Amino acid sequence: MAYSNIKKPSDYFNTKLYTGNGSSQAITGVNFEPDFLWIKGRSGARNHSLFDIVRGNDKRIISNTNGAETTETSVTSFDTDGFTLDSGTTSNANGETFVAWNWKAGTSFTNDASSTGVGSIDSTGSVNTDAGFSIISYTGTGSAGTVAHGLGAVPKMIIIKSRNTTSLWGVYHQAIGNTHGLFLNATNAATSLSAYWNNTSPTSSVFSLGGDADINKSSDPLIAYCFAEKQGYSKFGSYVGNSNANGTFIYTGMKPSFILIKSSSDVTNWQIYDNKRLGYNVDNNALRANLSNAELTDNDIDILSNGFKIRKVSDQFNGGAFVYQYLAFAENPFVTSTGIPTTARWLCSYLLT
């Protein structure tokens, strides 16, 4: 059984649904002040909006484009129990429904590489070692180097975006390895990228960079979201599709609250699921990190007490012999630190038939 030291995962990650009002409004019920906020329109075709405490609440980057960071006031503040929005349509269009995914970092981090001897590129940011999450800012050098991430554990997934430059979103995933990468804003299969990670896996103190301009352009400010695996709270793995409606079961050791899926062996979208949209099985509301499209309702997966199960044939997440990488965060660990097992999820589709 997967015991976890994190008793309440929603203290570190939480999904919040809301309806836009076209005016200023405070979104509450997150349970903490978010340090990384990802907003997506559900009912309308809206670009993704990503904000964080390190860059500032007025700095937006968009996961479905390769565009540089923009300055805007759609999120006017990060608050103790959520965040406040202005009247802009990107995150608060009147009458439209939205989802906000929230992560907690919170501890200020600074590393002067020349003074500490850790890494070769200076870095600053916000870190949560309990949850295995850090937001790291650094300036590119254009040549191979290493960056301190502050986690004290090996990152299993890293997402990097240049702030000033039109560039791909570089994604490292431990299941793919240090010679390949994915692009959050694109559908490409895993691409050979020796100039991304310098053919070197992250360690408990640093991640490695080659000289590629996407993630290490000289004098360019960049932001990295780093994730280490925490038993019963987060999982970063892979599975193989079977092209069968009775699809693969993926064991995560917890009841997932957020799942991100992408094939490394085929051209596919980045599928996002969570435990609030619709909130029961079959969990059918997919959004795609690389597209602005409104929410889909395709009955794709079941979210279970100890993982998730594929319920549909689709190259996007269940193509025959295709390999898929995933990221998952917990609603509850399968078994808590006090030995209490989590409960199963309501199977609405079975009750209705």
- pLDDT grade for 67, boundaries at 50, 70 and 90: very high
Q: Which residue has the higher pLDDT, 342 or 206?
A: 206
Hunting for tokens 């999904």 — which residue is that? 15
**Contact yes or no for 93/18 (Cβ under 8 A):** no
Hunting for tokens 């990190």 — which residue is that? 289
- CB-based contacts of 280, cutoff 8 Å, min separation 6: 345, 346, 347, 348, 349
Q: Which residue has the higher pLDDT, 132 or 1?
A: 132
Does the structure show a pLDDT above 70 at 341? no
CA 308/CA 317 separation, integer angstroms = 12
CA 265/CA 325 separation, integer angstroms = 10
Stretch 25-29: mean pLDDT: 98
Instruction: Give the strands of the sheet with 82-85, arranged side by side.
Output: 25-28, 82-85, 75-79
Stretch 161-180: mean pLDDT: 97
pLDDT digits (tens, 9 = 90+) for 106-151: 999 999 999 999 999 999 999 999 999 999 999 999 999 999 999 9
Q: pLDDT at position 299, please?
A: 86
Give me the percent of the chain exceeding a pLDDT of 90: 88
- pLDDT grade for 342, boundaries at 50, 70 and 90: low
**Contact yes or no for 334/232 (Cβ under 8 A):** yes
pLDDT digits (tens, 9 = 90+) for 267-324: 999 999 999 998 778 777 999 999 999 999 888 999 999 999 999 999 999 999 999 9
Q: Quickly count: other Cβ atoms within 10 Å of residue 316's Cβ.
A: 24
Q: What pTM, to 2 d.p., does this model score?
A: 0.94
Element (H, E) at 351: helix 348-351
- pLDDT grade for 349, boundaries at 50, 70 and 90: very low
Stretch 210-222: mean pLDDT: 97
